[in-house]
Amino acid sequence: MNAMKVAIGGLRGFVRARRRLRGPRRPTWNEQVETFASFLRVYGLLAPVLPVAIMRKEMVKVLAPSESERLAHYEPTDAGGVDAEWIRWNGADNGAVFIYLHGGGYVIGSTNTHRDLLSRLARSTGISVLAPNYRLAPEHPFPAQLEDALAVYRWVRGRGVPASRIVLGGESAGGGLTLATLMTLRDAGEPMPAAAVLLSPWVDMTSDTESFRTNARYDYINARSLDRFAGYYLGVRGDRSNPLASPVRADLSGLPPLLVHLGGAEALLDQGLQLTRNARDAGVSVELDVWPDMIHAWHVLANVIPEGQQAIDRVARFARARIATARVLSAVT
């Protein structure tokens, strides 16, 4: 039995006793969800001091392989010079592509850590999912990640997939990277994807907000760990107000329709709400879903938290609808 399972087993008894005395920590949390959330929160408190190599190794172990993960089809590929992986289910629509940029603070994460989410996304959308293993900081600081995301998008289009059949998205840092990619494409005058999906996006490296404090007892994300990741990403003297690093400070006009998912119990709630207001003020169509009791990026925890699959299904409906709408609009124009 690995150390993670031992730790979760030890926490379960504590959580059970606490729930008997005080009830659930959040209204919809059952014992399993609360135990796992408590484990992640403890792990998050260690993130500011754990070596990067250990964080990368341990992230793979957070969840055991799911049935969804085992049944999907995987195909490694070189996507414009970027190591990537196709994830598909039988009968997938190969003429449409969901490019998914994983989270992990630009420092950790890969297709290996996100395979459960990626396989669920491929099954729910019914289209091909392409997940890049973009370069990570601190070995490769900004703008390496943005360069890789742009290379992958351009490679997909170069294979004959029209922009109107592409959806771009990601969670946490992957959400911020999604926005940076969109803004760069817009400024370069390149065709934009049909839509973009931002799941618990990290969009402001300059400061924390009130939700960091009000949700500190629930969430595994904290200001100290994000400060460390931002330092790795931008360097000690990097400009954290750079709109490509902190899109909440950017001109968001001209972006495609967005779906924003936020957890009511997550530290980044206020950032996501501010981003939504800014985008709408800039004339961008934004569908906002706030899931009241969810912690940061609960989609990657769908093997443990039922709302994770529900949220992925919502993403799939949005992606399919936007691709269909973009296809109709391109046909009439």
Which positions are catalytic? 172, 266, 296
Instruction: Give which of 94, 52, 4, 40 is closest to 232, Cα–Cα.
Output: 52
- Interatomic CA distance for residues 218 and 196, integer angstroms: 28
CA distance 80 to 183: 20
Q: What does the buried/exposed string (b/e) look like for 201-234 if buried means 16 or more CB atoms within 10 Å of the residue's CB? A: bbbbbeebbebbeebeebbbbbeebbebbbbbbb
Extract the runs of DSSP E, i.e. beta strands, from 116-165.
Answer: 127-132
CB atoms inside a 10 Å sphere around CB 107: 21
In 3D space, the residue among 230, 220, 222 whose CA is nearest the CA of residue 296 turns out to be: 220
Distance CA 67, CA 119 (A): 9
* Closest C-alpha among 116, 157, 142 to residue 301: 116
The answer to whether 69 touches 85, Cβ cutoff 8 Å, is no
Give the Cα separation of 134 and 233 in Å (integer).
13
Alpha carbons 299 and 287: distance in angstroms, whole number: 17
DSSP at 298: G
